[in-house]
Amino acid sequence: MKRVLLWVPLGAFALLFAVVASGLFRPSDHLVHSQMVGKALPQFTLPKMVPDAPGLASTTFTDGKPRLLNVFASWCIPCMAESPNLMALKQHGVEIDAVAVRDTPRNVEDFLKRFGNPYARIGDDRQSAVQLALGSSGVPETYVIDGHGRIVEQHIGDVRAEDVPALLAALKKAGG
Amino acid sequence: MIAEGGLAALWFAAALALLQLVLAAVALSRRQTAIGVEDMLAAVRPIAIVQGVLVVLAMLLLIAVFVESDMSVRLVAEDSSAAKPLIYKVAGAWGNHEGSMLLWVTILGLAGAAVALFERTLERKTLVATLGAQAAIALGFYAFLLFSSNPFARLDPPPPDGQGLNPLLQDPGLAFHPPTLYLGYVGISVAFSFAVGAMITRDVGPAFARAMRPWVLAAWIFLTIGITAGSYWAYYELGWGGWWFWDPVENASLMPWLAATALLHSVTVLATRDGLRAWTIMLAVVAFSMSMIGTFLVRSGILTSVHAFAIDPKRGAFILALLVIYIGGALALFALRVGTIRQGNTFEPISREGALVVNNLLLSVILGIVLIGTLYPIVAAAFGTQLSVGHPFFDSTAGPIALALVALMGIGPLLRWRRDDLRAGLKRIAIPAAVGVVALVALLVLAPGIHILPLLGLALAAGVAVASVAPLWGRDLKRTPLFTYGMVIAHLGIAVSLAGMASESAFNKETLVATRIGEPQHVGPYTVTLLGVRPVVGVNWSAVEGVLKASRGGASTTLLPQSRFFSTPPQMTNESAIKTVLDGQLYTVLGNQDDAGRWQLRLWWKPFVTLIWAGGALIAIGGALSLLGRLRRERRARRGEA
Amino acid sequence: MKAKHQRLTLALLALAAVIGAALLALSALKDQASFFYAPSDVERDGLPLGKAVRLGGMVEAGSIKHLPDGISIRFVVTDGQASVPVSFSGIVPDLFREKSGVVAEGHFQPDGSFVATNLLAKHDEKYMPPQVAGAMHETKSLEQ
């Protein structure tokens, strides 16, 4: 009896640990349930931001090919952090389009020169109008769009190296 | 260069902690080396002291970086702003994750140095084991800082100006609130190290209890101050009129306090009567795990999403890993060792010890309830339900038990150690009990319709206030030891604080109106008139300020509540204006202007609300007197030996 | 009493106290935890009457109405799929505005409306529940 009792605190602590650990590794799940997932992209047309990439219109996303839509800005630090991972996605053959928020052509050009250009098209969203219509509340955010202009997934925050496989899988699923 | 210097100091300190741990382990290993414990102690002591100096240096360098607004340091860029007043630049150094963790180890290093310098009573071997445990704890936090939360990391290229500190945190309260709580947490870690050391050498007895007690007392004093100050900060800063929100962050400081309170009482039984050996060790471990869980809850942000964006799950995982190593290790050691520690003394149920055991049980129950209530949202989230646990739960569960505990607190000190006679004991508590009953009847007659908890609280406060000074009756006041005064004052503080809480919830008056300028409004005994509204400008904020004339009887005063707008980051806060008088506080908040040009005013009259924090201060003062008394007696005892 | 027995009794007593605390807490939590609802949860699962709950969502554009007493407001909380009318008396928190996130504490009326006793706006850093925390990352940018 005595022997068993002495181990009770350790058992209670293990239970406590399980609770706290489950809380720690869950929040990414319930933090954000996007309102936009499953909905069609809003209609928009944005002029081009830099000379060597075309602008962006919502009609681009209905050509049957799943792709990523990245909302970014040259002044945002997590955007810098995620750029190598976007480049990696590009290497995997993913087409990434971008909405540049509250930015200037010169800054965006500098940004792309420094961190590489993973984007096929870049739309100039100076007033954040498209960003808000997309239900994006900050930068960076990345949307997975299927070939019919429907939002499949909304990734909030920077794309980290460990997010790359998940995004690739989501794109593949959207295509199939 | 300053930042690099700080980082270097941190690395050196970590290396010394490792050395300290290794030396302690060697000294205690079974195979006796040529070097004796005494020699090892001679080596470990200076290491602990130098380690303390280095980590203090690192903290000072971080403050220097904040003061000179070196925006190339990431932490400064994210949390500071060149336009900030100096005091908030200094406080900004620990107003963020990395800086606050550095503050944690700074205090830990200081405590380690203090143990090495001043501890004289403990058996040598246990002292070495304690310093080894202390080094192990420090090492974990150094690793945490250096590998996942480097406060000195640079930013390239540096931004022109920083983002500023959350305006809610730009307050003198911030300057000393976290450090106070950390002093408490760290003091508990020292107690934990003592417990681990004693388990390793199986030296659990009165001498160990006397060595540990000052640390528990000191930690408890700081936790008391931290909780009291935090409560007052939330009260005047949030502008909601409440003084305790059962917010997870508040609970994170309350839980270690509950455990430390229990520990404080059980360590007294161990020191005086050599009883409750295993239980005291257990409580030291529990108290430390509560402060680790507190740190974890606040720092990982899994409960409130304070700074949700700054959360890196790795950090939470790191603290959790430390928690598992320290607490899991200590509990396993407990299970293996406690059975082999020699039995302490037993006691009679009706005695001082008996009352202290019940005190410990009730405190444990309250602690369990607060812990479950705080963590329940996490469990629910795991099953897909989102919920929050607040006032109704804690008030209805912890409230009645806390009242029972306070009642016991009135009785316990009137019982004798070892064995007491039930009838004699009852005679001693007759007068306080009568006072409580009279208060209860008076309240029922004079102020009918009060809720049951505040009603019992007020009656109990009256009775217990009398009971807590009763131990001084019939004693020679000059020859009564200082720590007895400490106990009396701390217990009185509990009664005073309880009176404040109960009075606030029973008699609180609130008026919420949209008022025109010049129109008188009434709340409690006051008539409040808005005379005008004017713009005010601060260093990094601008505000509209309401000019209120508050009159009561013939006298009147001016109150100036504000709505402040901060520029970096953009945010608005309501600054309450409070008039404190002898019998309570008038609390005013200015809201927005409506379409008709009227201003929203929220007015509270809170009778005797200040007693809550006055009681908290009394508790801390009582603790300080007790600490002083104990230290003096120890010194005198040592001198007597020499 | 023998020493050994006393120690065992104490250990069992402590265990019983802690288990008792756990049971008490869990039974009280059943009634008194305040659950979090989004408007579409209410539409799907019915009204949680007679309980303190939290309602979270966005303040619908154009829905904030000020009542003549100057301190009461009505607005509509929506999550894109369903919406709930809310009434509140008091000083609205900092950064409470249309099209921004809000969590209202209070209770539902039988007619499906919600009476809030407290509003927590999205950027009240200390009091923001994770349920609407999605947008917090934006403040991390260094826009000037």
Please give the pLDDT value at position B177. Answer: 75
Residue B15 pLDDT > 60: yes
- From C135, C42, C142, select the one nearest C95 (Cα to Cα): C135
Running DSSP on this structure, what letter comes out for residue C28? H
Q: How confident is the model at residue C2 (pLDDT cuts 50, 70, 90)?
A: low
| Residue keyed to tokens 């869950």 | A26
**Looking up tokens 């009137």, which residue turns up?**
B414
State the pairing for strand pair C72-78/C53-59: antiparallel
Among C20, A17, C1, C10, which Cα is nearest to B282's? C10
Place of tokens 């939330």: B234
Q: In chain A, which residues have their Cβ closer than 8 Å to the Cβ of C15?
A: 5, 8
Q: Which residues contact B390 (CB under 8 A, 6 or more apart)?
A: B245, B246, C34
Compare CB distances from C18 to B346, B364, B380 and report the shortest one's residue: B364
Q: Which residue of C has its CA nearest to A76?
A: C141
Q: How far is CA A65 from its chain centroid?
A: 18
Supply the pLDDT for residue C56: 81
Half-sphere exposure of B236 (CA within 13 A, CB side): 19
Q: Please, which residues have CB within 8 angstroms of residue C55's CB and are 6 or more apart in sequence?
A: C36, C37, C38, C39, C42, C77, C84, C86, C103, C104, C106, C114, C116
Question: Considering the domain C34-123, what is its CATH architecture?
Answer: Beta Barrel (2.40)
User: What pLDDT does residue B140 have?
Assistant: 92
Peptide bond into B157 cis (omega under 30): yes
Q: Are B152 and B7 in contact (CB under 8 A)?
A: yes
Backbone angles phi, psi at B534, to 5 degrees: -140, 155
b/e for A45-55, b at 16 or more Cβ within 10 A? ebebbbeebeb
Cβ of A76 within 8 Å of Cβ of C140? The answer is yes
- Give the per-residue pLDDT at B542: 76
Residue spans of chain A under pLDDT 70: 1-2, 24-36, 75-78, 136-138, 176
Angstrom distance (rounded) from CA C87 to CA B20: 62
Is the separation of the CB atoms in B548 and B530 below 8 Å?
yes
Amino acid B135: pLDDT: 93
Å from B332 to nearest chain A CA? Answer: 7
Q: Does position B79 have pLDDT exceeding 60, yes or no? A: yes
Task: Using a CB–CB cutoff of 8 Å, tell me whether B327 touches chain A.
Answer: yes
Record the tokens describing residue B239, joined without a space.
Answer: 């502008």
Rounded to whole angstroms, the Cα distance separating B160 from C61 reads 36
Tokens standing for residue A147? 């070939």
Residue B49 has pLDDT above 50, yes or no: yes
| pLDDT score, position B169 | 56
Rounded Cα gap, residues C54 and B389, in angstroms: 11
Integer-rounded Cα radius of gyration of chain B: 26
- C56 vs B411 pLDDT, higher one: B411
Residues of C in contact with A8 (CB under 8 A): 15
CB B20 within 8 A of CB B48: yes
Q: For B445-472, what is each residue's pLDDT tens digit?
A: 998 888 899 999 999 999 999 999 988 8
Q: How far apart are CA B312 and CA B321, in angstroms?
A: 15
Q: Kindly identify which residue of chain C lies nearest to residue B163, measuring between CA atoms.
A: C142
Q: Which of A10, A101, A151, A156 to mutate to test the interface with C (most CBs of C within 10 A)?
A: A156
Q: What's this model's pTM, rounded to 2 decimal places?
A: 0.80
Q: Is the pLDDT of residue B611 over 90?
A: yes
Listed ranges A77-86, B173-182, B278-287; the one with the highest mean pLDDT? B278-287
Mean pLDDT over all residues of chain B? 85
Once rounded to an integer, what is the mean pLDDT over residues B560-576?
A: 74
Average pLDDT over residues B258-284: 92
**Interstrand relation of B526-537 and B509-515 (parallel, antiparallel or unpaired):** unpaired
Task: Identify the CATH class of B171-339+354-375.
Answer: mainly alpha
Per-domain residue ranges of chain B: 1-169, 171-339+354-375, 509-607
Yes or no: say if B255 and B374 are a contact pair by the CB < 8 Å rule: yes
Question: Distance, in angstroms, between C18 CA and closest chain B CA?
Answer: 6
- Give whichever of A32-36, B66-70, B319-323, B555-559 has the largest mean pLDDT: B555-559
As for the ipTM of the complex, it is 0.75
Q: Which residues of B touch C101 (CB under 8 A)?
A: none
**Which residue does chain A place closest to C130, by CA atoms?**
A31
Minimum Cα–Cα distance from B591: chain C residue: C91
Most confident of A19-33, B299-313, B583-597, C121-135: B583-597
Contact yes or no for C138 and A137 at CB 8 A: yes
Grouping H, G, I as helix, E, B as strand and the rest as coil, residue B69 is coil
Residue tagged 């403990």 (tokens)? B122
Q: Which chains have at least 3 CB atom pairs separated by less than 8 Å from chain A?
A: B, C
Chain C environment of A157 (Cβ under 8 Å): 137
Residue B175 banded pLDDT, cuts 50, 70, 90: low
Kindly report the average pLDDT of chain C as a whole number. 74
In DSSP terms, C86 is beta-bridged to C75, C114
Measured CA angle at B17 (ends B12, B18), to 5 deg: 100
pLDDT for B264 = 94
Do residues C32 and B396 touch, judged by C-beta distance below 8 A? yes
Of A1, A12, A73, the CB nearest to C141: A73
Give the model confidence (pLDDT) of B109-126 as tens digits: 999 999 998 887 788 888
- Stretch B272-293: mean pLDDT, rounded? 90
Residue B4 pLDDT greater than 50, yes or no: yes
Question: Which tokens in the block code for residue B190?
Answer: 């020292």
Lowest mean pLDDT among B174-178, B314-318, B551-555, C37-41: B174-178
- Look-up: residue for tokens 């720092």? B299
* Strand ranges, E, within B560-598: 562-566, 571-575, 577-581, 584-593
* Spatial separation of the C-alpha atoms in residues B212 and A55, rounded to whole Å: 70
Name the pLDDT band for C129 (thresholds 50, 70, 90).
very low
Question: Collapsing DSSP states into helix, strand and coil, what is residue B22?
Answer: helix
CA B420 distance to own-chain centroid: 35
CA quadruple B610, B616, B619, B621: dihedral sign:
negative
Under a CB-based contact definition with an 8 Å cutoff, are residues B439 and B458 in contact? yes
Whether the per-residue pLDDT at B172 is higher than 80: the answer is no
- Percent of chain B whose predicted confidence (pLDDT) is above 70: 91
Structure confidence at residue A123 (pLDDT): 92
| Residue labelled with tokens 């070097």 | B35
Q: What is the pLDDT of residue C95?
A: 62
The rounded Cα A158 to chain-centroid distance in angstroms is: 6
Residue-level pLDDT at C27: 86
Decide if pLDDT at B568 tops 70: no
> Using CA atoms in the order B499, B501, B505, B508, what is the torsion angle rounded to 10 degrees?
80
Q: What is the pLDDT of residues B472-503, one digit of tens each?
A: 887 888 888 899 999 999 999 999 999 999 99
Q: Which chains touch C (3 or more CB pairs under 8 A)?
A: A, B
With an 8 Å Cβ cutoff, are C130 and B278 in contact?
no
Q: What is the largest CA-CA distance in chain A?
A: 79
Length of chain B counted residue by residue: 642
Task: Quick: pLDDT tens for C72-124.
Answer: 889 998 877 788 999 998 887 766 777 667 888 888 998 889 999 888 764 33
Q: Which residue has the higher pLDDT, C125 or A34?
A: A34
pLDDT at C134: 32
Amino acid identity, position A31: L
pLDDT at residue A106, as a whole number: 85
Residue A79: other Cβ atoms inside 10 A = 24
Instruction: For chain B, say whether C143 makes contact (Cβ under 8 Å).
Output: no
Specify the higher pLDDT residue, B298 or B144.
Answer: B144
H helix or E strand, kind and range, residue B603: strand B599-607
The arrangement of secondary structure in A32-175, i.e. its CATH architecture, is: 3-Layer(aba) Sandwich (3.40)
- Listed in sequence order, the residues at least 6 apart from B45 whose beta carbon sits closer than 8 Å to its beta carbon are B116, B117, B131
Question: CA-to-CA distance for B93 and B75, rounded, in angstroms?
Answer: 8
Q: Which amino acid is at B225?
A: I
